Chain A
Amino acid sequence: MVTRQTSLAEQWLAVCRPRLPLQNPLWAFVHNNILMHFEERPFLEAVREAAALYRARPFESEAFYRDELERGRIRRECLQAVLAARRATLGEVDVERFLAESSIGDALAPLEHLRLAPRLPRELAQRHQRRLEDLLVPLVAAYLDQGLAGWSTPLADGSLWDAFRESVATAPGWSFDWREQLVRRLASHDNAGRDLEALIEAEVRECALDADGAAYCLETLFVLKGWSGLVWRLESEPELAPVQAPAQLRLRDWLAVLLVTQHALDDALLEELGVARVRAMRQPAPIEATRSLARLALWQEAYERSFAGPFLEHLERGPRKPDASTPPRFQALVCMDDREESFRRALEAQSGGCETFGAVGFFGVDMRFERVGAALATCQCPPIIKPSRTLRETPLDGQGAALARLEQAGRAGATASLAAYYHSRSLLRGVAVSLGLGLASFVPLVFKTLLPGRIERWRSFVLRAAFPRPRTRIALEAQDGYSIEEQAGIVEAVLRTCGLTREFAPLVAVIAHGSTSSNNPFRQAYGCGACSGNSGAPNARAFAAMANSSEVRARLASRGFELPAQVLFVPCLHDTALDRIEMLDRHAWPTARKAELEQLEASLESAARANACERGVRFEQGPVYGLTRVSEADAAAIAQHVQDRGHDLAQPRPEYGHNRVAACIIGRRAITRGLFLDRRSFLVSYDPTQDPRGERLPAAVLGSAPVAVNIAMDYYFSRVDPEGFGAGSKLPLNVVSLLGVITGSKSDLRIGLARQMVELHEPLRILVLLEARAEHVTRLVDGHARLSRLVRGGWMQLGRIDPDTQAIELWNGEQFEPWRSALPEFAEPADAPSALDTILASADDRLAPALP
């Protein structure tokens, strides 16, 4: 390898690697800012570069913004204020002129393609892409396959380059039209005795003309961007592969394959056209997606201000109820997730009083978790943290036999389902399977389609009766588990950060969340983002076990943190799709407090039902779509409807996930308590009055704000260009290699989220509000590299709420200023709260525009 120090090709690859899409296998899907590696540049510059590479529009279209202006979602005065702020560059421009002249603000020229293919006539350019996919997609998909195909590929033993060479060599001369050019190209490299790096250099030198080599390689890798991203991801982190990544997987090989095939295909098409490469390269090739970006950025700013203004006004006006005078009946520690906002509101609205706190949903337990009966450990902490240890679920004393029975049944079932899978796809065994199981498969076919929710309930009832799930606990104290000291540290950090340090209610529910969906390759996208897309149940169980332990409490007391003995932490799971509550570790309930705990369960369930009603008004095919008032009968209908939705194989929208999320508020619940936020905000509890020196602020912000930005940006980009940044419609998606999805039979590996998952989203950069002192916020932002990039680069809007005066200020690029002066169009407080309709009412939802 070290023939030369670092070859040119290696240098180019070093530039390319961090630019590729962050494409995890869907098993390990996590929400990422799709452009995370562009974050070191300001937003507009970064999206311009990305638009060129992804060939995708990074803003909504002009038509969309005009529509939104028309219907009042973008306010004229906001657009006017945006234009006025650019007076120095734009001159005096009013809204009318801006609308009339579509060149205003169009300061950035479109970027140019570097490759030849986009310079060909349109029809040929498209054919170029398809032929490339025809040859390469089956190859790379088979090479990376984790076990979807019945015939384990013999190619995966070697390198991707060798597999490619062999596949070309064994193809007969007539197998594809441009084979001759490809073979000629390969032979010339062989004759010159080039190794792969020399080959890459030679290819680039010949065909890129005077373009920058690294940029040319990058554009080439983006021809099949999803596959390139996945190849690099599995090369750099082979443990992400669900089964096994090929040992010799290298991005370098894939780049060489792409360069050679692309250029051979160029040759073939040029021969057909009768044009020389050099002449064809003179043709200009502007990238459509990079047109008028600067103008669209103005629109986007006006769009965001039109959200921020009314939203801040709403917050400022807020009910600001004083904390309830009577001590709350119970308290709940809930994930910060925006989907729990409505659930918390419903919970607090109940009589008897409940206080809720928003924490990052892994509750400080940074573990990998081995569930009973699962082969793979799941990562139960945010993707930015490496799990510090692996914990196991172990049966309680006397449950060993039940566990063994369950595991045996699980293994038998798993063997049978794998056998049915592979054998049904083979020839003679396939006859046996189709004769044996074929008629039987009409049963699930009919019933799962007609009664999805009920069938699932009966099935799990029967399964549970036959194989009762053993009572288990999480082995915290295991050899490399958490020590008592560490457990006390976790409990203290979580409780202190969210300000739950005194006035404890007798019961504290620790509510994790997960989501049920079926037939959904993107299931991990609906789980708890703070648990890497998994259900947070193990974390809630672990946290409650820690906080209930008398040893831990003694240790806490010695640190000056008193947890009264009667306080009981109760782990629960909220299913955000089915809106069901599961009380976890019921066996650990003290018998004396059973009645009290059952009351808690009833409260949580009734809040979940209320939550289903609120979600239901957005489900167009549901029973309460668009209703403003939901009757008792409707409530029962929607409760059944959400059960069906989660289990329905046909349902591409089991829930709407983080659609419409636009804000993240980190501060006391008192700021937002009783305030309708329409599930648009992450809510993280942080009590600045208990933290005068701001020591807990980093824990509250760094665990939440970057996750919030990742989720918001993932939704943003998938929504603004569902084909370029997103995965397109779910209907033609086809699972490939057990790693991802493609569209139809052959296509690039799709990245981002599917269209049905983001159809209600408003693409906005997220507004993060911290209730903290200015100096603490500034210190935090300056001290953290990524946060600083996000704030200064305009990837999010930062604001703060003063802990004493509750005045809201926004970051203007240099410092905080009162929000009404940062957004001068809102200088005068509005008197009618009706202005909120445009941002917080389901009647004003706007669907993603349909394709032509």
Chain B
Amino acid sequence: MITLETVLIGGLLAAFLPCAAMGLSLLIGAPMSERRSQQSAHAQALVLFVVAAALIVAHFRGDGPRELRLAPLLEAHGYSWTPVFLLDRLSLAYVALVALVHQVVVRFSIPAFHRESGAQRYWFLVSLLALSLWLVSLAGNIDVLFVGWELVGVCSVSLIAFFRHNLRSTENSLRALVYYRCCDAAMLFAAVWIHHELPSSDFTQFANAAGSKAAAGIGALLVLSSLAKSAQLPMSPWLHRAMEGPATSSAIFYGALSVHLGPWLLLRTQPLWDEHLLPRAACGLIGLATAVYASLVGRTRPDAKTALAYAAMAQLGVIYVEIALGLETLALVHLWAHAGLRTWQFLRSSSLIQDFQANPLVGADVRLRARAGLWRALVGAQLERRIYLAAMRLFWLDALHWRTVARPTLALFGWVQRVEERVLGGAGRGSAE
């Protein structure tokens, strides 16, 4: 008798093998051939696709939501890390999205990454991403989710720096890492708090714990921890920097699977904080602000990829608002549809010149947009100009973070380093004498 557990665990293990093999071969400095890496990644994508299909079929056959609980992998001081997987409408919806988009992007990358130096690295990271997304979306408790969440971040950052010879890529990937880390810290804090205050860290128990005193605080922390992945204010500026990577990774991460993890996390944990004003207000206000901000900035971007990044950010803001308003189903459908749209747009972002060239409405003496729109009539030409100039510079949000957070932090650590050197250096000299 094949049980759901064996399908899931067997499938995940089978998908883990190619990924592990690629990672190991890179680690020992004997990377697989390009062809072998492609085949491994492709095989993994197929396995995951089939497993996803099996899980969905089983779900619709009337098994309903299922929680699969394995033996704890780690137990220490009263804490246990237990792999728990939750199969319900929400997780399977995301798994289906992951399986589909991952499959498409893998197929797309086979010709695209042919003969690209570092292609093995790409294949490894994409297959690692797939596994981590499965962990995130099927996670039944916050502990499992956190592991997947971290790995998604690692893949994202490594792929922004894919073109290692380009300094801008490496610099930008570092920025993205910093934003990720800030929010990951919030998630870690939330996880600890959950373990501390709630009877269980399983998502199925969240609804019962909604009345707990800590629920509002934990909810707010969870909202905070979702911000970086989905580039919501104030953690937005890294997203356009992430456009240094190849178009395929922009599609899979920032068009589809990674950026939508923020709203997905909120949907997953919503039973816990649904009744509390603080997290809902935070979620709604942040979403609203981001939607306005990103659509203003995005409309000034004259390049294909960052324009798409901001367009995606704006829609994510709307999804946050929908979640805050309690429209879960709408949010889920919006998330799904939006991911499909952006993946498609990112993958064919190089077609724009061809598209406009083939368009019989585009030509000399044809302005693509009316010069003075409703917008100008509303705010006046002078103010429009000022808003345009500010939006063109991202409202200096990047600079604001640099001035108010990054530089003081760097200065602090510089000072700590100097102090440390003086203290330890002095001690070192002392012992030498």
Interface residues of A (CB under 8 A from B): 26-27, 126, 130, 138-139, 141-142, 144-155, 166-167, 170-172, 174-176, 239, 241-244, 373-376, 407, 410-411, 414-415, 417-418, 421-422, 424-427, 430-431, 433-435, 437-439, 441-442, 444-446, 449-450, 518-521, 523, 620-621, 648-653, 729-738, 741-747, 756, 759, 847, 850-852
Contact = CB atoms under 8 A, between A and B. Distances in A.
B168 to A, nearest CB: 6
A687 B153 CA distance: 67
B351 interface: yes
A650 B109 contact: yes
8 contacts: A27-B357, A155-B388, A425-B307, A445-B347, A518-B351, A519-B351, A520-B354, A744-B243
Interface string B380-421: 010011101111110010011001000000000000000000
B115 A620 contact: yes
Contact of B360 (A373, A621, A730): A373
Contacts of B243: 734, 744-745
Interface stretch (B62-70, B125-133, B176-184, B293-301): B293-301
Given A126-B167, A152-B367, A518-B351, A731 B246 contact: yes
Contacts of A651: 111-112
A243 B303 contact: no
Contact of B117 (A167, A734, A851): A851
A738 to B, nearest CB: 6
Nearest to B104: A449
**By CB atoms of chain A within 10 A, which of B100, B113, B385 has the most?**
B385
A142 B392 CA distance: 8
A154 B384 CA distance: 8
Contact of A434 (B166, B295, B305, B341): B341
A442 B368 contact: no
Contacts of B386: 170
A851 B165 contact: yes
B303 A736 contact: yes
A147 B362 contact: yes
Given A445-B344, A519-B350, A731-B116, 5 more contacts: A27-B353, A442-B100, A446-B104, A735-B353, A741-B350
Contacts of B400: 174
Contact of A435 (B168, B298, B334, B392): B334
B115 A759 contact: yes
Contact of A732 (B245, B299, B334): B245
Contacts of A26: 353
B115 A243 contact: no
A640 B355 CA distance: 25
Interface of B: 100, 104, 107-117, 163, 165-169, 171-172, 240-241, 243-248, 291-292, 295, 298-308, 310-311, 314-315, 318, 333-334, 336-341, 343-345, 347-371, 381, 384-386, 388-393, 396, 399-400, 403
A478 B343 CA distance: 48
Contacts of B349: 734-735
A806 B347 CA distance: 54
Nearest to A27: B357
A86 to B, nearest CB: 36
Contacts of B369: 147, 150-152, 422
Given A621-B110, A731-B116, A418 B361 contact: yes
Nearest to A152: B369
A650 B110 contact: yes
A411 B360 contact: yes
Given A171-B393, A649-B108, A732-B244, A375 B305 contact: no
Contacts of B314: 426-427, 430
B393 A167 contact: yes
B367 A244 contact: yes
- Which secondary structure dominates chain B's binding surface? helix
Given A732-B246, A742-B303, A744-B244, A439 B315 contact: no
Given A435-B334, A445-B104, A152 B352 contact: no
A434 B256 CA distance: 13
B100 A446 contact: yes
A305 to B, nearest CB: 29
A852 B244 contact: no
Contacts of B240: 745
Contacts of A743: 163, 166
B341 A433 contact: yes
Given A151-B388, A425-B307, A731 B300 contact: no
Contact of A154 (B305, B388, B393): B388
A155 B393 CA distance: 14
B115 A242 contact: no
Contacts of A852: 117, 165
Contacts of A426: 295, 299, 311, 314
Contacts of A407: 360
Contact of B392 (A130, A144, A167, A648): A167
A175 B354 contact: no
B159 to A, nearest CB: 11
A653 B100 CA distance: 26
Contacts of B354: 518-521, 523
B348 to A, nearest CB: 5
A736 to B, nearest CB: 4
Nearest to B306: A745
A346 B135 CA distance: 56
Contact of B114 (A411, A620, A744, A850): A620
A242 B356 contact: yes
A578 B393 CA distance: 44
B192 to A, nearest CB: 36
A171 to B, nearest CB: 6
Given A141-B303, A731-B112, A243 B341 contact: no
Contact of A737 (B247, B303, B370): B303
A259 B100 CA distance: 51
A112 to B, nearest CB: 24
Contacts of B111: 621, 648, 650-653
B359 A418 contact: yes
Contact of A439 (B171, B301, B340): B340
Contacts of A410: 360
A825 B107 CA distance: 51
Contacts of A745: 168, 172, 240-241, 243-244, 303, 305-306
B45 to A, nearest CB: 12
Contacts of B396: 171-172, 174-175
B363 A243 contact: yes
Nearest to B308: A425
Contact of A438 (B113, B171, B338): B338
A138 B307 CA distance: 12
B334 A431 contact: yes
Given A167-B393, A425-B299, A434 B334 contact: yes
B340 A442 contact: yes
B22 to A, nearest CB: 19
Nearest to A741: B350
A138 B340 contact: no
Contact of B302 (A138, A411, A437): A138
Contacts of A148: 302-304, 307, 352
A746 B334 contact: no
Contacts of A154: 381, 384-385, 388
Contacts of B241: 745
A128 to B, nearest CB: 12
Given A732-B246, A736-B304, A744-B244, A434 B338 contact: yes
Nearest to B245: A732
A310 B355 CA distance: 45
A267 B166 CA distance: 25
> Across chains A and B, which 9 residue pairs bring their CB atoms closest together, nearest first?
A438-B337, A375-B363, A147-B368, A744-B244, A427-B295, A850-B117, A151-B299, A150-B299, A731-B246
A424 B112 contact: no
Given A439-B336, A851-B117, A430 B295 contact: yes
B295 A417 contact: no
A375 B345 contact: no
